[in-house]
Amino acid sequence: MTIPVITLDGPSASGKGTVAARVAASLGFHYLDSGALYRLMALYAMRNQIALDHEARLAMAAVRLPATFAEGVVKLEGEDVSDAIRAEEVGIGASKVAVLPALRAALLQRQRDFRQAPGLVTDGRDMGSVVFPDATVKVFLTASAAERARRRHKQLIDKGEAANILQIQQDIEERDARDAARPVAPLKAEADAHMLDTTDLTVDQAVAQVLAWWRNTA
């Protein structure tokens, strides 16, 4: 029997990470936040003075990136970088390295290795289209840009960071445009994906909807 996979793709700050982690916990499945891999690559590049468009060097680094994921803690070269990879400039850097085809190819097998029993829930931009095209349930999560900016702004304020909501919305829109326009693995809804607009949904409601789609496959 193939190991089940539930994919949640969508634009930044659409809530897919929160929903995916909750669905994984409720089913006892593994969870892969694929964006964290791109964020790690950006952080690695920034720290090692590698240009964000140096495809060959970054692809080589991606294959043996010394990163680990355990119990929600992301480590790079042994250092806990769980907070560092969430910085806005690292997210922007991630969307720049993510346009490089050789880097994406280098990360492909690393992502597929997370598919382990009893199952996997994963979120990103191309989980249902490229990485796990045979996924059991595919979901495309969206929310209006204004709502996504509001959520990201609240996250930053809650963490005690200064944040300007208009600047955040502009950054989100630029990042989405870059993710959707790139020729390799662009952000787009697959024909076989369930559409889930979370603008007016609570996290509980979004989680319940994904679980209902999952139960329908049984």
- List binding-site positions: 10-18
Give the number of residues in contact with ligand C5P, rule: CB under 6 A: 15
3-class state of residue 172 by DSSP: helix
Q: How far apart are CA 8 and CA 153, in angstroms?
A: 22
Measured between alpha carbons, how far is 16 from 197 in angstroms, rounded to an integer?
11
Q: Out of 4, 15, 124, 128, point to the residue binding ligand C5P (CB under 6 A).
A: 124
Question: How far apart are CB 45 and ligand C5P at their closest, in Å?
Answer: 13
Q: Which is nearer to ligand C5P, 67 or 98 (CB)?
A: 98
C-alpha 213/C-alpha 217 separation (Å) is 7
Of 20, 31, 32, 35, the residue at the interface with ligand C5P (CB under 6 A) is: 35
In angstroms, give the least distance from the CB of 145 to ligand C5P. 14
Phi, psi of 209, rounded to the nearest 5 degrees: -65, -45
What would the two tokens of residue 139 be? Answer: 């979901």
Residue with Cβ nearer ligand C5P (123 or 209) = 123
Residue span binding ligand C5P (CB under 6 A) among the ranges 69-77, 87-95, 162-170, 210-218 = 87-95
Angstrom CA distances, 82 to 13, 76, 111, 132, stand at 17, 9, 18, 25
Q: Is 4 in the site for ligand C5P (CB under 6 A)?
A: no
Q: If binding is defined by CB under 6 A, does position 94 make contact with ligand C5P?
A: yes
Annotated binding site for ATP: 10-18
How many degrees, rounded to 5, is the angle at CA 89 between CA 87 and CA 93?
120
**Which residues here bind ligand C5P, judged by CB under 6 A?**
12, 34-35, 38-39, 91, 94-95, 98, 124-127, 175, 179
